[in-house]
Amino acid sequence: MNLIDGKKIASQILDDLSKKIARFPRKIGLAVLMVGDNPGSHAYVRMKKKACAQLGIDSLTEQLDADTSPETVLQKIEVLNHTPAIDGILVQLPLPDHYNPQQITRAIDPNKDVDGFHPMNVGKLLLGEEGGFIPCTPHGIQLLLEKSQIEIAGKHVVIVGRSNIVGKPLAALLVQKRRGCNATVTIVHSQSEHLSDITRTADILIAAIGQPHFITNKLVKPGAVVVDVGINRVQDESGNVKLVGDVDFSSVAPIASWITPVPGGVGPMTIALLMQNTYESALRRG
Ligand code: NDP
């Protein structure tokens, strides 16, 4: 079994970006809006701010109460859309229940939508058009595989999970007719029949479910590559919160050819690709 070192690959991407950003003629700015008090979101926003500080990107973070109205958030997005110093805008998900996330995502200028969730950018990804933004986690997974010299072309990739932020855009990316993609892709989800029969046919199995240790060795073909996107907060025996993936690492690692750890696998890549999209936005905007 070989470990896919997301931390190392992400840090190489960040090192490369930091040199480019140092040469960029102006300050680059990323705005992050967070609504409510989700503990996971706090941690993600902290990591994003830290990465910005490391690269010399100005980060503007606004933390809003859970009862903030969607109209207020829409107004703030509108201001940021027209603020020249801001190259990237993201609204940390999940949003409180009284929000329609699609409405918020659509309000962001697609040219500043560094998360890649705006329908314009989703459409460009599906069509294989240049000039959009690829969502950070799917792009991070594709690069993890490519930079670990794992062949994707022609392989059967099974993705467990069909969310708009991971499963669906990942399928759209890996099936593209371009270098580093060209996979045969199957998505399974909570309504799929014969799920384990399908996952056992995967050359590359990607778990984006949000269920701790869902993927055991019984769902994996010996020799498969296993990518664990899950980040689940669970309490250990002493009551401390720890992060675990969707893959039962101890049962799957012995039969996998390659596997990502949690933490230290997909997570750091998501942050690195967010920084890359922000730099890309600044380059396009000049
Ligand atoms: P969602 O809850 O939006 O989607 C989960 C998907 O898993 C759904 O499609 C759901 O099916 C499917 N699913 C749930 N239970 C089962 C089951 N028993 N059998 C088969 N399929 C099932 O989650 P996200 O995609 O947003 O996130 C998935 C995981 O990845 C989470 O742990 C999240 O924290 C993590 N994550 C990690 C990131 C990183 O950077 N590493 C970034 C983003 C997310 P259905 O559609 O039918 O309900």
| CA–CA distances in Å: residue 2 to residues 72, 81, 100, 184, 225 | 48, 44, 41, 23, 9
Closest approach atom of ligand 1 to CA 192: 20
Q: Is 199 in the pocket of ligand 1 (CB under 6 A)?
A: no
Is the CA virtual torsion 144, 147, 153, 155 positive or negative? negative
Catalytic center residues: 48, 92, 115
Show the CA angle centred on residue 108, arms to residues 105 and 110, nearest 5°.
Answer: 100
Q: How many CA atoms lie within 13 A of 114 on its CB side?
A: 31
Tokens, residue 278: 């922000």
Query: For position 40, what pLDDT does the model report?
Result: 87
CA of 285 to the centre of ligand 1 (A): 34
Tokens, residue 179: 């270098």
pTM of the model: 0.98
Q: Is 140 in the pocket of ligand 1 (CB under 6 A)?
A: no
Is the CA virtual torsion 173, 31, 47, 72 positive or negative? negative
Q: Is 161 in the pocket of ligand 1 (CB under 6 A)?
A: yes
CA of 56 to the centre of ligand 1 (A): 32
Closest approach atom of ligand 1 to CA 262: 41
Q: How far apart are CA 270 and CA 273, in angstroms?
A: 5
Q: Are strands 225-228 and 258-259 parallel, antiparallel or unpaired?
A: parallel
Total residue length of the chain? 286
Q: pLDDT truncated to tens, each residue of the chain (286 aa)? A: 999 999 999 999 999 999 999 999 999 999 999 999 998 899 999 999 999 999 999 999 999 999 999 999 999 999 999 999 999 999 999 999 999 999 999 999 999 999 999 999 999 999 999 999 999 999 999 999 999 999 999 999 999 999 999 999 999 999 999 999 999 999 999 999 999 999 999 999 999 999 999 999 999 999 999 999 999 999 999 999 999 999 999 999 999 999 999 999 999 999 999 999 999 999 999 9
CA of 212 to the centre of ligand 1 (A): 10
